[in-house]
Amino acid sequence: MTNSPQNLNKFSPVEKRAVISIASLYGFRMLGLFMVLPVMSLYFDGYHQSSAFLLGLALGIYGLTQAIFQIPLGLLSDKIGRRPVILGGLLLFILGSVVAANADSAIGVVAGRALQGMGAIASTLMALVTDLTAEQNRTKAMASIGGSIGVSFAIAMVLGPVVASNYGMPGIFWLTALLGLIGILIIFKAIPKTHSIRKNRETQTDLQQLGTLLCEPSLIRLNIGIFFLHLTLMAAFVVIPSILVHQLSINPDQLWWVYLSLLGGGFIAMLPAVILSERRNIQKQVFVSAVALMTLAMFVLGSSQSGFIIVLMLFIYFAAFNLLEALLPSWLSKVCPVGNRGTAMGIYSTCQFLGTFAGGILGGWALSTIGTDGVFWLLAFMLLFWCFVALTMTSPKPLQTLILHVEKTKTNEFIKSVSNIVGVEDILLIKGEDLAYIKVNKTLIDLESLQPFLNRK
């Protein structure tokens, strides 16, 4: 019996439960990590041995441990199962939060943040999503996870100042530990337990692919992009809270509405650009414009003392950041060689976390040596370099990866039939599986011609 497109694109009850629970777990965890960003620089002087460098290290150190452990833990989950790795990662996350909550020195906070990052379960959670969802629903499932991260970031920018103004930094870390415990509860009570695990090569990491993907020019540019995007974010937050409080005279108790306005307004401002870039296939133009706007914002922030101009530039920065955060993974999925998305995403995520670490270190060092304005000028020149890199990028074709079923005894017939369909760009058959991964041009492909391969036994 042939499944209709409507049925193929609809979550089953188990899939819906899996996506909602895993997205919630991911969101609670990231909420805890993000809450320190808007307030750490305001309260860090209260710790013994505090310094600008240790401030940057405390902000960024979790990125280093995330980068180190992300791929190894993902590979470990393939061998011993997803749940043990996720549970162990959450326990490390909780331990790190408790260590930071009880710390009275800057070194203690750094140690706690490093432990938090060692619970690097992002890739394992993504793999679990693919285990519990059908092939045709995985794009929507991944989009839900991505949305939970964006929502967590926005809530953290608002919630962090509120908690810190009432309970200080220890209050944030204790709340983070509680969020970790909620994550454990979700594992045992909400995430479905099933023995019919569905495997998907697209989301698995293959060490043999690393060398090839690390040298792929289009992927190199995207990895550079996510590195610089999160470097500037972390470095900027070394100084942004202090500017808002000391230069613009905003009470720390009122920071929440400032961040809400900047992030909310920036999100609304970037939505039309995201829609236009996809509909008109002008991703490169929109992408380069966003990087240029971020560069402009950094240059102006490094030279202006006007409160209005500072707020306007922060608004532009956050709008451009949200836009690039949405465009980069979308671009990656289009240019990634078929069947290699899991490995490519592992490299991409590692570059993101390394950017977080480098941004914290760079921001702390720059603040202690060249001051607040110097931080923005340094970031501006780094973003200017990214602008030149972005200009060399080739706008991606409107490609999409589809996963089709193919009978093992009819692979040759399948290849001949599908290769002749207009719009099919690439085909990958996995030995020992009844699946084929094909990359198609969405503007050329006739989906009706693929219907015979959507049959299920």
pLDDT at 139: 61
pLDDT tens-place string over residues 401-457 = 777 766 665 666 677 777 777 777 777 666 656 667 777 777 677 667 766 665 444
Query: What is the per-residue pLDDT for 5?
Result: 41
Same domain, yes or no: 256 and 121: no
Confidence of residue 2 (pLDDT cuts 50, 70, 90): very low
> Do 313 and 440 fall within a single domain?
no
Average the pLDDT over 326-350 and give the result.
75
Answer with the residue of higher pLDDT: 200 or 55.
Answer: 55
Residue 279's domain comprises 209-396
Q: Please indicate, yes or no, whether residues 177 and 107 belong to a single structural domain of this protein.
A: yes
* 284 neighbors 387 (Cβ within 8 angstroms): no
Count of domains in the chain? 3
Judge if 392 and 420 occupy the same domain: no
Whole-number pLDDT of residue 4: 40
Q: Among residues 347, 380, 396, which one ends one of the domains?
A: 396
Predicted pLDDT of residue 184:
94
3-state SS track over 17-85: HHHHHHHHHHHHHHHHHHCCCCCHHHHHHHCECCCHHHHHHHHHHHHHHHHHHHHHHHHHHHHHCHHHH
pLDDT at 6 over 50: no
CA dist 88 → 101, 118, 180 (Å) = 20, 10, 11
Q: What are the backbone angles phi and psi of residue 148, rounded to the nearest 5°?
A: -65, -35
CATH of the domain at 124: 1.20.1250.20
Domain boundary among 352, 378, 396: 396
The verdict on residue 5 lying in a domain is no
Q: What is the mean pLDDT of residues 376-405?
A: 85
Per-residue pLDDT averaged across 59-66, rounded? 92
Cα 45 to Cα 41, 50, 51, 168, 393: the distances in Å are: 8, 6, 7, 12, 43
User: What's the predicted TM-score (pTM) here?
Assistant: 0.82
pLDDT computed for residue 135 by the predictor: 59
**Token duo for residue 110:** 């750094």
Quote the percentage of the chain above a pLDDT of 70: 82
CA 393/CA 388 separation, integer angstroms: 9
Task: Tell me, yes or no, whether 355 and 415 share the same domain.
Answer: no
Tokens found for residue 363:
């921001």
Task: Quick: pLDDT tens for 120-149.
Answer: 888 788 778 777 776 566 667 766 776 777
- Same domain? For 381 and 449 the reply is no
Instruction: State yes or no: pLDDT of 1 exceeds 70.
Output: no
| 405 and 443 part of one domain | yes
Q: Indicate the residue among 197, 231, 257 that finishes a domain.
A: 197
Confidence grade of residue 207 (pLDDT, cut at 50, 70, 90): low
